[in-house]
Amino acid sequence: MPHAKDPTIPHIRSAHEQPAPLTPRSTGLTQRQVTWMAVAAGVSVANVYYLQPLLRPLAASFAVSGSRAGLLPMITMVGYAAGLLLVVPALERTGLRRLMAWLNGGRLVALMMAAASADYYVFAAASALLGATSVLAQILMPAAASLAAPGTTGRTTAGITAGLFGGIVGARVLAGALGGVLGWRSVYVLSALLTVLMHWTLKQLPEPPVHRGLSYRMLLSSLVPLMRNERGLRRAAGAAAAGFAAFNIFWTAVTLYVTGPAHHWTTAGAGVLGLVGIVGTGTVLAVGRHLDQGRHRILAVGASATMALSLVIAGLGGTSVTALVLGALLLDSGARVSNVANQAHALRQKPAARARLNTLYMTTYFAAGSVGSALGALLFEQSGWLTTSLVAAALAALGATRALKA
């Protein structure tokens, strides 16, 4: 009896009705290549997070309210989600090096637009383009998973995830410090220089397997069936998305909180708060081997629970700087472990379609994050710090319940 057609893999017609073969697999990745991929992932994703400590200077520069400036991180993340949905699947057909060249070129255009912007709407458009072209980390992740030696996928992806989250930490600190001294435009000029450097560094990476016979339309049309049929993917993405929404509620609101009348911190001080993420980045590296041993569920549940606890601590701590720093530290650590555990589980569901799995996982993840960014600013301005923190804690707790079922 013939096997039923897998609806997540597009049908490819040929003379003998056989799918076009994959390109040969590369001999693998060296540790040096993994390290540079991790650095490049951080440099790329940092562009999504430079805005958070710059909200007040941007509001002043464009003469808009804090809540309107607070929409800019959401706009950037919407652009990022669009890039995940429309660009990342092309990896399986286009190849790694060509797709990197397109993304880096587009990102340079967006960075120059942002640096030169004199109008809120021009900057918002640049932010959307910047988000869409900053998905390099999500190209590198499935590529590395495909190229990693057997039994090392968890450690390899954990290393790149550590670089990605290191970029998030560095973005907040760098944007806060550099923006406070040289102005917010200098942040985007520096990012353009780093983009050029990373492009030249990664030009010689090996190519992962490529489906030459799949059209771009076929890849996109397979996304909905893939999400519908892969229950493990749906549950992992849902658990991570709830936590990431909570994470972005906190980091958008906390900038307005600490630079406002409750604390009177400077923009640079708000950026330095992001240094707590160094601990979380180290935590991700430590859990890689546990992922290779199949312990994703306990890691994901524990991480989400830690995030919920951290937000309760930060919210109930009042104006205590100790409670705020402790909450931020636990939140960052939990968010990093939650993402790497859920993402590793999602990418295992169908190894031949890792780029598309990553597209669906990360589109869900960043769509939730964009909502969290907008909600953080609105909740804080309307209801204050305590309510904002407790809403975020409830979302993190929801992520823990979803992770239990993944």
Q: Residue 3 has what pLDDT? A: 42
CA of residue 17 relative to chain centroid, distance: 39
pLDDT band per the 50, 70, 90 thresholds, residue 268: low
Instruction: Give the angle 232-235-240 at the CA atoms, nearest 5°.
Output: 120
Taking the mean position of all CA atoms in its chain, how far away is CA 180? 25
pLDDT digits over 314-370, tens only?
A: 999 878 888 998 999 899 889 888 988 888 888 887 877 888 888 899 889 878 988
Kindly tell me if the per-residue pLDDT of 18 is higher than 60. no
Percentage, residues of the chain above pLDDT 70:
85
Q: What is the pLDDT of residues 187-210, one digit of tens each?
A: 999 999 999 999 888 888 888 877
Q: Say what the pLDDT of residue 292 is.
A: 65
Report in angstroms the alpha-carbon separations of 168 from 43, 163, 332: 9, 9, 10
SS3 label, residue 22? strand
Instruction: Please tell me the predicted confidence (pLDDT) of residue 260.
Output: 81
Mean pLDDT over 146-151 rounds to 76
Sign of the Cα torsion 343, 348, 351, 356 reads: negative
Overall average pLDDT of the 275-287 stretch = 69
Which pLDDT does position 53 carry in this prediction?
Answer: 81
CA-to-CA distance for 242 and 129, rounded, in angstroms?
25
pLDDT value at 10 more than 60: no
Confidence of residue 221 (pLDDT cuts 50, 70, 90): confident
Whole-number pLDDT of residue 289: 67
Q: Is the pLDDT of residue 280 over 90?
A: no
pLDDT of residue 246: 95
Amino acid at 210: V
What pLDDT is recorded for position 387? 94
On whether the CB atoms of residues 338 and 300 are closer than 8 A, the answer is yes
Count Cβ neighbours within 10 Å for each residue of 309-322 and write b for 16 or more, e otherwise: bbbbbbbebeeeee
Q: Which residues pair with 211 in a beta bridge?
A: 22
Residue 283 CA to residue 40 CA, distance in Å, equals 20
For residues 331 and 169, give the distance between their C-alpha atoms in angstroms, rounded to a whole number. Answer: 13
Query: pLDDT (tens digit, 9 = 90+) per residue, 66-85?
Result: 778 888 888 998 898 889 88
Give the pLDDT score at 153: 74
Global model pTM greater than 0.75: no
pLDDT per position as a tens digit, 226-263: 899 888 899 999 999 999 999 999 988 888 888 888 77
Res. 310 pLDDT band, cuts 50 70 90: very high
Question: Which CATH architecture best describes the domain 31-405?
Answer: Up-down Bundle (1.20)
Of the candidate ranges 27-36, 189-198, 207-216, the one whose mean pLDDT is the lowest = 207-216
**pLDDT at 223 > cutoff 80:** yes
Residue 195: what pLDDT?
A: 93
- List CB contacts of 161: < 8 A, sequence separation 6 or more: 41, 141, 284, 336, 339, 340, 343
Alpha carbon distance 188, 302 (integer Å) = 36
Over 50: is that where the pLDDT of 25 sits? no
pLDDT of 22 higher than 50: no
- Average model confidence (pLDDT) across the chain: 83
Query: What pLDDT shows up at residue 161?
Result: 81
Residue 24 scores a pLDDT above 70: no
Q: 351 in helix, strand or coil?
A: helix
